[in-house]
Structures are given as structure tokens and as C-alpha cells.
Amino acid sequence: MSKFIPERVRPDYRADIQAIRERQGDEAIVDWIERYYASPDVDRDDVMIALDINYIGTFYELVRAYDVDRPEPDKVEEARQLEMMRLLLDGKEVPENLRKPASWTRQVN
């Protein structure tokens, strides 16, 4: 399991982070941070609501305080986005296959 590293928390956020840890528990916090990193469907606001965080700075301090592995970037998706942006900035038309991420295509099990 990922762990909390108290040295990463700035002094002015320690009380707030400790209150969140006592209220939610490390397991729930790590679960939400992992979801935030892994899924484009979970954004900062979702995590803040779930963990009852009121200030954006507290959210970022919390994320920084936990040693949670981030998933590897999707190199194919990054290449698609770069090519799409290059075409847009050059004023060219973007082909249909570059307009949507591969994850949006329908898959048959």
C-alpha cells in the first residue's frame, strides 16, 4: 500500500491534512488518489468532494504527501494528441481517426 510521508506536508497544512486522515483514513485517501491518477473520469473536484476537502491547496498538499504510483502514460494517445494539435495549428483538417481517443471506440468482448 502507498504510504503517507509527513515530511512532504508544509507546516501550514499539517492540521488540515491530519483532520482529513482522521476523518477518512489512509486507505480511502490512497484509493481516491489512485483513481485520480488512473482515470480521466475522476477529476480533482470528485476527490475533493469525496474526501470533504474545502481548499484546492489542501488537495495538492494531500496528493503530494502520499507516495502513490502513477500509471505509465499512454504513448499512443500522446502521439495522437500531438498529431491532432499539429494539424490544427497548421490550419489543416484533422482526420476522423485522430479526433477521438482509441478508448472511445466501441469494443466487442
- Quick check: 98 and 83 in contact, CB under 8 A? yes
Give the DSSP letter string of 68-93: -PPPPP-HHHHHHHHHHHHHHHTTPP
Please give the pLDDT value at position 3: 85
Query: Is there a single domain that holds both residue 54 and residue 85?
Result: no
Cell of 66: 502520499
Query: Is there a single domain that holds both residue 59 and residue 84?
Result: no
pLDDT, one tens digit per residue, over 1-27 is 578 999 999 999 999 999 999 999 999
Parent domain of 13: 3-67
- Quick check: 102 and 80 in contact, CB under 8 A? yes
Query: Is there a single domain that holds both residue 56 and residue 99?
Result: no
Query: Is there a single domain that holds both residue 85 and residue 58?
Result: no
Query: Is there a single domain that holds both residue 49 and residue 94?
Result: no
Overall number of domains in the chain:
2
96 occurs within a structural domain? yes
93 occurs within a structural domain? yes
Which amino acid belongs to residue 47?
Answer: V
pLDDT, one tens digit per residue, over 32-67 is 999 998 887 889 999 999 999 999 999 999 999 998
pLDDT > 60? residue 107: no
